[in-house]
Amino acid sequence: MCSVAPLNFGCYSCAVVAACVPLGGGNRHRGFFEEPFRFGMNQKESCMASRSWLYIAQSVAVVIVLGGTLASIPAFGQVQPTTLDISLVRTPSELVTAADGGQLDLITYGSTASYTVRVTNTGASRASAVRLSGFAPTGPTPNADGGLTANISAITPGGATCSFGDAGATFSCNFGDLPDGQLADGGFLATASASATYTINLPAPSRPYTANCTLADGGSVADNLLGATTATASGTNTGAPITATYQNTRTRPLADLAVTMTGPDGAKEGDTVTFNVHGVNNGPCDSNRPRLTNTGNALLAFQSNAAGTCQSGYPCTVANSMAAGASFDVSSTYTVGHLPADVPTAALANQVDLNSSSTPNPDGGPSLAFATPDPTSSNNTAPTQTWVNHSTGGCNSVTGSTLGLFGIALVILTLRRRRRNT
């Protein structure tokens, strides 16, 4: 049997073919390439025809030899596998800078926190039908939800792309296809990523508040770690789903400061009047550096505060830290001024405000301690008003004086006329 080596991937030399294929008409065992001579072809034409047959035969041989390998090569239109990457963080703009320059992840009761999850196609092929699903963090520990439940209240993008359900406990997104976006420097095109931001709401503890900074179930109000929030990404050609977990959000303390102010309902011009201020921390935690400020009327001239809290005047720092349940009193005196000539009576406003404040850094850096969040702002302000009349009992002072002098002159003139007549 003759063995023929291919030249240039299947192009055989005609001389080789002639040498290998018996061309005798009387040969009962004609070779595969002898058939063309039946049709009256000469040797050259037979050689060209044989080449065509060789190509076909060689292709069949390749398919037979590489059959197992071809099965792994994607057919036309088949989606090739790729890989995904996922990240989950607290939205950076909501982080708080600490005194040491570090970033703190804090949440205030009765307020919100947002988390951003990003999915990136890190492979060399298009990622198909990419989906995202996840869970909101549970409430403060040590119990499953610490007596409170943190639920998702919003998600972007919304519409047909992302939504939340199960009373705000879960969310899902359908990002569709993500193109591969690998760059030569190792980065990725923006189109290779998709992201979603979901916002949770943490309700405020119910009243009455405790005085030891604890929740109703005994858990701590302040510095309480929320449960983990998770997000899982998957695609039809991205292999097994991948999950990201984030758990670093802690609760801030809470202190309900309240203030009242009482004073006279009415006064006269030039009077000295007294206003009494009462402040209290209703808890549940200590309040950092509560500050008392006074906004008065220009016709109420502040004179002094009695000895004790804020004796140097307003504004003042009540204490560096005010314990839950603690209270204070301030007695302030003012002098009533004179109303404008064309204003017979007026209500003079006087107001105090009590709020927690941050502890300033003497070096000018970030605050040494943060202001304590207050769950109720409506009781941080105490307005009053005092009605003031002219000393003449409601008449304009200038007009009243003028009329008085005119009256006296009229009486004198009348008496003189009577004397003359007698």
Position with higher pLDDT, 184 vs 217: 217
Give me the phi and psi of 35, to 5 degrees please.
-55, -35
Mean pLDDT of 79-93: 92
Tell me the residue type at 243: T
Q: What is the rounded CA–CA span in Å between residue 154 and residue 168?
A: 9
pLDDT at 263: 97
What is the CATH T-level fold of the domain 255-389, as seen in this structure?
A: Immunoglobulin-like (2.60.40)
Question: Mean pLDDT, to the nearest integer, of 294-312?
Answer: 94
Domains 84-251 and 255-389 share a fold: yes
The Cα-based distances of 34 to 14, 28, 57, 351 in angstroms read 12, 11, 15, 117
Residues of the chain with pLDDT > 90, as a percent, come to 58
Q: Who has greater pLDDT, 422 or 138?
A: 138
Q: Please report, for the chain, the start and end positions of each structural domain, with discontinuous segments joined by +.
A: 14-70, 84-251, 255-389, 397-422
- What would the CATH number be for the domain defined by 84-251? 2.60.40.10
pLDDT above 90 for 386 = yes
Give every CB contact of residue 128 below 8 A, 6+ residues apart in sequence.
79, 177, 235, 236, 237
**Three-class SS state of 40:** coil
Whether 285 and 375 have beta carbons less than 8 Å apart is answered as no
pLDDT bin (cut points 50, 70, 90) of residue 138 is confident
Q: Does the pLDDT at position 23 exceed 70? A: no
Confidence class for position 39, pLDDT limits 50, 70, 90:
very low
% of residues, the chain, pLDDT over 70: 71
